[in-house]
Every structure is written in structure tokens, then in C-alpha cells.
Amino acid sequence: MTQIYDLAVVGGGIVGLAHALAAARRGWRVVVLERDRHAVGASVRNFGFVTVTGQQAGACLRRARRSREIWAEVAPQAGIAIEHEGLVFAIRSAEALAVIEAFASDPERGAGCRLLESEEAAEGFPVLRREGLLGALWSPHELRVDPRHAVARLTAWLAETQGVEVRFGVTVTAVEGGWLATDAGPVHAGAVVVCPGADLEGLFRHRLAGFDLTKCKLHMLRLAPQPAGWRLPGGVMRDESVVRYLGYAELPQAAAVQARLAAERPELLEMGIHLIATQDADGGLVIGDSHHYGDPPAPFDDARAEEAILSLAFETLEVPNRRVVERWTGIYPSVPGRQALIDAPGPAVRLVLVTSGTGMSTAFALGEEVVADLAGERARLAGVAE
Ligand SMILES: Cc1cc2nc3c(=O)[nH]c(=O)nc-3n(C[C@H](O)[C@H](O)[C@H](O)COP(=O)(O)OP(=O)(O)OC[C@H]3O[C@@H](n4cnc5c(N)ncnc54)[C@H](O)[C@@H]3O)c2cc1C
């Protein structure tokens, strides 16, 4: 007998899993179809940094706040460790200080954050290099999970406790209403959500061509475990992030940071480099990143990116063990100025792409929104109140 699901999700990255969770919470029968034998896309290559502070005011910030709540709720149930909480934004130039002062004094953007002067920042966060430190912004909101474990644990938990069927090694080749063609036979579902990540060449290829999509390739590094007791107080960023995170970048003071970078370190702007540092349970540091745009992404990696990322890390942090133990790149779809794309290629079919580096931070809320929308559509079609 053909099994009919309420929702079929294409893609087993964090965006697909978030939709599966939202639907399972409504009691829907859900299947997740993932092409690879386990997820190896952006969702396992990122920092695992659930970032709230600095997200663009409006939908993105709202989604980050809601997603953070869901991570906090789900992580202990799913056996996902929160590696650290909060964000330390190290301030190393007068221009960045002006941005962060404006940010911290805005009751909406800077809610719950505290600006520390240089002495207080150096005392409070001894892993920061004192030399050149003008102060720091402390945000308590962030969570950090290790994505290599978190995505696998979340998938297993959805299957084991939430009734979600997860089928790995299944490629979806076409979606026609509630019917999906796959290389393992047809699947029938009342609604479909396609979450393909950076795969813009597969499903709905021609439709996606109508958006201003490109791809963003990021360089990442892992440093060897640091000595016992050396712990980051939270995720760490610094001045250059002012240009990349729209919650800061949209403040008028950010133009001066951009101008200084253009004059003094144009290679950072050219390669879209800023610093994020997070720490794994074994003490290893995950640091990055760069942003190289193009579709297809360049097959070759600019060696200057690694040098620049390391230089920012070592200028900012007193890192005892500087040995690089892993390097990788990750790719996400990108639309200039747009954080996420939700499209409706057919009735009860949604195409959902996070078109910025915010999927770990916003996916759970996106999943709730899209599934609520589908529930409303289903109810309208059936002529009943949702
Ligand atoms: C290096 C890097 C660092 C980042 N850091 C952060 C961070 O710290 N915080 C943050 O919030 N965000 C971060 N991001 C962004 C975040 O990782 C992404 O927004 C998010 O992972 C996107 O999730 P996804 O599920 O859409 O894509 P993916 O994780 O790429 O998953 C898509 C899945 O769909 C599957 N698929 C595609 N087509 C088909 C098909 N036809 N049939 C079956 N399966 C299919 C693929 O196999 C893949 O597993 C980072 C991204 C990168 C690359």
C-alpha cells in the first residue's frame, strides 16, 4: 500500500529538519528525503553558532530569537550539548567602537547586551589580547552547538521520538503537487517543502533562475585543542563583523569601519573576511571565515584567505596552540540583501532557502512559519478552520 504523508521534506540539512520538527509538533506524518547517506552540506560545515545579536532588525532578528528558544528547548531532549553561550564582540578600532556604542544604546537591537570598557573587557575575558583592545560588547543570547554532532543527533531524535521518517540516500528528481519522483520510487504527500541548500541545479532549477541567486563559498579552519582551562567565554567576533552583520552594518556609523578597512586592509573586504571563533568540547577552536561569491564557486581556494583569518584570530585572542588541524569550505546560496527565500511553486509546495549565513540561527522559526502557512492552506482547501 502506498504510504501518504502529510508532509514530505526534501533535504536533511538544518532547514529541512526544522520543517520536519514544526510539522511533527502538529501531529503530521512527516518524511525527510536526503540524497546523501548523512548530511554533509552547509549544516555540518558551519560554526554551529546560533547568533541573535547583530542580526538584521525585523524578520531575521525575530526568527533568530525564536529559533534560539527552540534550540534551548530541543538540544537537551535530543542529547545535543550547548558548547558555550553568549557572544564577545572585541572592539579594536575607534570606528567599530562608535558602531557598537550606537548598537548597545538601541533598546531593540542591543537588548540585554552590555558594553565593557577596555580594562573590564580584558579582566573579564582573559583569552582576549589586551594590546589594542578598546572594549567589548557582551551579548548573553547566543548558543553554540557542534554542528558535526548536532545535525546527526537532531535527525536521530526526530526519527526516534517525534515519529519522523528519515530516508537517506534518496534523491528527489521531480515534485508534481503532492507526488514526488525519487530514485527509490514515488512518494505521496499532502504538502511538500523543498530545502535544497546550495543545490540550485536540481529541483525547480528554472524557477530559481528567476531570483538573483549566486553561491557563497566560505573558508573554515580548526585549530588543535587548547590547554585545559583555556576556554572561550562565548563565540568571539571583532570589528570586521560590523560590515557583515546587517544589525550593525545598517547603522550609519558602520560606513567609517568600511572606509577604514578599504584603506588599511582591502584584502579583507575583497575576500569578505571577518572573524568568528567558537570552541569545541575537546578545546579545539573553529575559526573563519571568508565569503567568495560566484556560481559555480571557484574550484580553487585563495591561500590568502587562510592567512588573513589566522592573522585576525591571533591579533584578537591569546591562542596557545596555533596548529591548524583541519581546513574545509562550505557553500550556501546567496541573494544580495535577502536573508531567506520562501517561494510557492505550486499549491501546498514550498521552496525554502536561507540565502545568507544565518540558517543555524533562523531555520527553526522559518520552519514554524512555513508549516503554519501550509496548515492554513490545507485547512482552506478542506474548507475547515485550522
Ligand atoms: C562555512 C559556513 C559557516 C556558517 N556558519 C553559520 C553559523 O555559525 N550560524 C548560522 O546561523 N549559519 C551559518 N551558516 C549558514 C548555515 O550553515 C546555512 O544557512 C544552513 O546550514 C543551510 O541549511 P540547509 O538545510 O538549507 O542546507 P544544507 O545543509 O546544505 O542541506 C541541504 C540538503 O539538501 C539535500 N538535497 C538537495 N537536493 C536534494 C534532492 N533533490 N533530493 C534529496 N536531497 C537533496 C542535500 O544533499 C543537503 O544535505 C554557515 C554556512 C557555512 C557554509
DSSP letter for each residue of 251-303: STTHHHHHHHHHHH-HHHHHTT---EEEE-TTS-EEEE---EE-SSPPSS--H
In this prediction, residue 246 carries a pLDDT of: 96
Q: DSSP secondary-structure letter at 351?
A: E
CA–CA separation, 110 and 54 (whole Å) = 8
C-alpha cell belonging to residue 335: 541573494
Query: What does residue 237 show for φ and ψ, rounded to 5 degrees?
Result: -130, 175
- Tell me how far the alpha carbon of residue 256 lies from the centroid of ligand 1, in angstroms: 33
Distance 320 CA to ligand 1 centre (A): 32
**Torsion angle, CA of 121/122/126/129, rounded to 10 degrees?**
120
Q: Which three cell numbers stand for residue 27?
A: 501531529
Looking from the CA of residue 171, the nearest atom of ligand 1 is 42
Q: Which atom of ligand 1 is nearest to 354's Cα?
A: 19
Q: Nearest 5 degrees, angle CA 232-CA 237-CA 240?
A: 160
Q: Of 365, 352, 373, 28, which is closest to residue 194 (Cα–Cα)?
A: 352
C-beta neighbour count of 35 within 10 angstroms: 20
Q: Is 90 exceeded by the pLDDT of residue 382?
A: no
The residue contributing the CA closest to ligand 1 atom 27 is 197
Q: What is the pLDDT of residues 78-128, one digit of tens each?
A: 999 999 999 999 999 999 999 999 999 999 999 999 999 999 999 999 999
Per-residue confidence (pLDDT) for residue 250, from 0 to 100: 95
Decide if domain 85-141+214-334 falls under CATH 3.30.9.10: yes
* Mutational test site, ligand 1, from 199, 237, 291, max ligand atoms within 8 Å of CB: 199
What does the pLDDT look like over 291-340, one tens digit per residue? 999 999 999 999 999 999 999 999 999 999 999 999 999 999 999 989 99
- The atom number, within ligand 1, closest to the CA of 202 reads 41
Mean predicted confidence (pLDDT) in 20-34 = 98
Each residue of 238-297: pLDDT tens digit? 999 999 999 999 999 999 999 999 999 999 999 999 999 999 999 999 999 999 999 999
Bridge-based pairing of strands 30-34 and 165-168 is parallel
Superfamily of domain 4-43+148-211+338-382: FAD/NAD(P)-binding domain (3.50.50.60)
Convert the pLDDT of each residue in 175-194 to its tens digit: 998 899 999 999 999 999 99
Specify whether the CB–CB gap between 26 and 86 falls below 8 A: no
As given in the structure block, the three cell numbers for residue 142 are: 547566543
Q: Over the chain, what is the mean pLDDT?
A: 96
Closest CA to 68 of 94, 87, 91: 87
Q: What pLDDT, on a 0 to 100 scale, did the predictor assign at position 178?
A: 86
pLDDT score of 11 = 98
Could you give the CA distance from residue 115 to residue 98 in angstroms, rounded to a whole number? 11
Q: Which residues line ligand 1 (CB under 6 A)?
A: 10-16, 33-36, 39, 41-43, 45-47, 49, 51, 171-172, 195-199, 202-203, 218, 220, 289, 330-332, 354, 357-361
Residue type, 17: L
Which residue CA neighbors atom 53 of ligand 1 most closely?
330
Domain map (residue ranges) of the chain: 4-43+148-211+338-382, 85-141+214-334
* C-alpha of residue 11 to centroid of ligand 1, in Å: 9
- Whether the pLDDT of residue 232 is over 50: the answer is yes
Contact 312, 274 (CB under 8 A): yes
User: Ligand 1 mean position to 195 CA, how many Å?
Assistant: 9
Q: Is the pLDDT of residue 3 over 70?
A: no
pLDDT at residue number 1? 43
